Amino acid sequence: MVIVGIVAIDRNLAIGKGGTLPWHYSADMRFFKQTTIGNAVVMGRRTWITLNKPLKDRMNIVLSSQPATTNSIVTLPDVKSVLTLAGSLTRDLYVIGGAKVYQAFLPHIERWIVTKVPLSVEGADTFMPANFLEGFELSEVRQLDEELRVKFYERVSEARP
Ligand SMILES: NC(=O)c1ccc[n+]([C@@H]2O[C@H](COP(=O)([O-])OP(=O)(O)OC[C@H]3O[C@@H](n4cnc5c(N)ncnc54)[C@H](OP(=O)(O)O)[C@@H]3O)[C@@H](O)[C@H]2O)c1
C-alpha cells in the first residue's frame, strides 16, 4: 500500500476557486480516473460536496468531523483513522484534496502526481502548501496532451515532524 497525493495546480499553486475546480481538462479527468481506479481515495468534506456522488470503482473515504449522511462513502474523523484503514488495504490510497486534506497528509505521502495547468487563475482562493514537494525528487514527466504535463515525484527524505 502506497499513499499517493494527486493534484492539478496552476502556475501559482492554485487548486480551487469558489469551492470548485477553476478549469476543466478532459485529458486530466481521464488520467485521474485511470490512475485512481481500483484504489481507495481520501478527500475533504468540501471536495466531497463538489462530487455529488462517489467516484466509481474506488473506495471513497471522506474526512470530516461530521457523521456520514450516506452509506456509499466511508466517513472518518481524523488522519489516524484513515491511516489505520489504509494499512489494512491491499490497494493504494490516493489523497485527492482539497488543500486542507493535502496539508494533513503531507508527512504521510510517498509519491506526488502533479498535473501542471498552464493558467494563472485570477481570484483563486485555494492553494497547495508552498513546501509540498520538499523532500521529493522528480522521477517522471508525462505529456497528457499539447497543453498538459504530469510530473511524478518520489519521496527521497523523511518528512519533517
Ligand atoms: N486542483 C485539484 O487537484 C483539486 C483537488 C481537490 C479539490 N480541489 C479544490 O479544493 C477546494 C476545497 O479544498 P478545501 O481545503 O477548502 O477543503 P477540503 O480539504 O476538500 O475539505 C475540508 C474539510 O474536510 C474536513 N477535514 C480536512 N482535514 C481534516 C482533518 N485533518 N481532520 C478531520 N477533518 C478534516 C473538514 O470537514 P468538517 O468541516 O466536516 O469537519 C474540513 O472542513 C475546492 O475549490 C476544490 O475544487 C482541487
Q: Is residue 85 part of a domain?
A: yes
Q: Is residue 20 part of a domain?
A: yes
Taking the alpha carbons of 135, 107, 103, 40 in that order, is the dihedral positive or negative?
Answer: positive
* Residue 160 pLDDT: 67
Compute the mean pLDDT over every residue in the chain, rounded to the nearest whole number. 96
Atom of ligand 1 nearest to the CA of 125: 45
pLDDT in tens, 106-148: 999 999 999 999 999 999 999 999 999 999 999 999 999 999 9
Q: How many domains does the structure of the chain reveal?
A: 1
Residue 14 in grid coordinates: 492554485
CA separation for the pair 95, 97 (Å, rounded): 6
Rounded to a whole number of angstroms, the CA Rg of the chain reads 15
Q: Is residue 31 part of a domain?
A: yes
CA of 100 relative to ligand 1 center, distance in Å? 5
Give the 3-state secondary structure of residue 151.
Answer: strand
pTM above 0.95, yes or no: yes
Per the DSSP assignment, residues forming a β-bridge with 116 are: 9, 149
pLDDT in tens, 44-63: 999 999 998 999 999 999 99
Nearest of 83, 74, 121, 120 to residue 104 by alpha carbon: 83
Establish whether residue 76 lines the binding site of ligand 1, counting it when its CB lies within 6 angstroms of any ligand atom: no
Min mean pLDDT across 10-14, 69-73, 82-86, 102-106 is at 69-73
Domain containing 13 — which CATH number?
A: 3.40.430.10
Beta-carbon contacts of residue 131 (< 8 Å; ≥ 6 apart): none
CA separation for the pair 93, 104 (Å, rounded): 14
Using CA atoms, how far residue 107 sits from 66, 147, 157, in Å, is 24, 31, 11
Q: Which domain holds residue 134?
A: 3-155
Establish whether residue 24 lines the binding site of ligand 1, counting it when its CB lies within 6 angstroms of any ligand atom: no
Establish whether residue 99 lines the binding site of ligand 1, counting it when its CB lies within 6 angstroms of any ligand atom: yes
CA of 49 relative to ligand 1 center, distance in Å? 9
Q: Is residue 82 part of a domain?
A: yes
